[in-house]
């Protein structure tokens, strides 16, 4: 299936609230397998939830670095 991927990396610096945002179009059969490549580190937390419409959102924290990856079918 084809998805639009929006990946946000939240800045750890308390004085900077900006985040890095990357937008890609991907093809994946299993989003869980696709997201696992971002799960590296000692402390890992990953929560999957349904977003608006048919979107799927993964909130990831690895060693204190927060990321959010949202997928929407295209």
- Domain span at residue 9 reads 2-73
Sign for the CA dihedral angle at 7, 12, 18, 20 comes to negative
Contact of 1 with 29, CB cutoff 8 Å: yes
Reference 1, options 55, 52, 40, 43; nearest CA is 55
Q: How many domains does the chain have?
A: 1
Query: Mind listing the pLDDT tens digit for each residue in 26-49?
Result: 999 999 999 988 787 778 899 999
* Cα distances (Å, whole numbers) of residue 33 to 18, 19, 36, 37: 28, 25, 5, 8
Q: State yes or no: pLDDT of 19 exceeds 70.
A: yes
CATH number at residue 40: 3.10.50
- Provide the whole-model pTM: 0.86
User: How many residues can be counted in the chain?
Assistant: 74
Query: Mind listing the pLDDT tens digit for each residue in 48-72?
Result: 999 888 899 999 998 888 899 999 9
């Amino acid at each position: 299936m084809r998805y639009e991927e929006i990946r946000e990396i939240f800045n750890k610096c308390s004085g900077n609230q900006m985040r890095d945002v990357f937008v890609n179009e991907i093809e994946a059969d299993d989003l869980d397998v696709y997201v696992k490549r971002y799960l590296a580190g000692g402390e890992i937390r990953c929560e999957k939830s349904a977003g608006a419409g048919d979107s799927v959102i993964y909130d990831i924290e690895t060693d204190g670095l927060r990321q959010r990856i949202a997928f929407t079918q295209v």
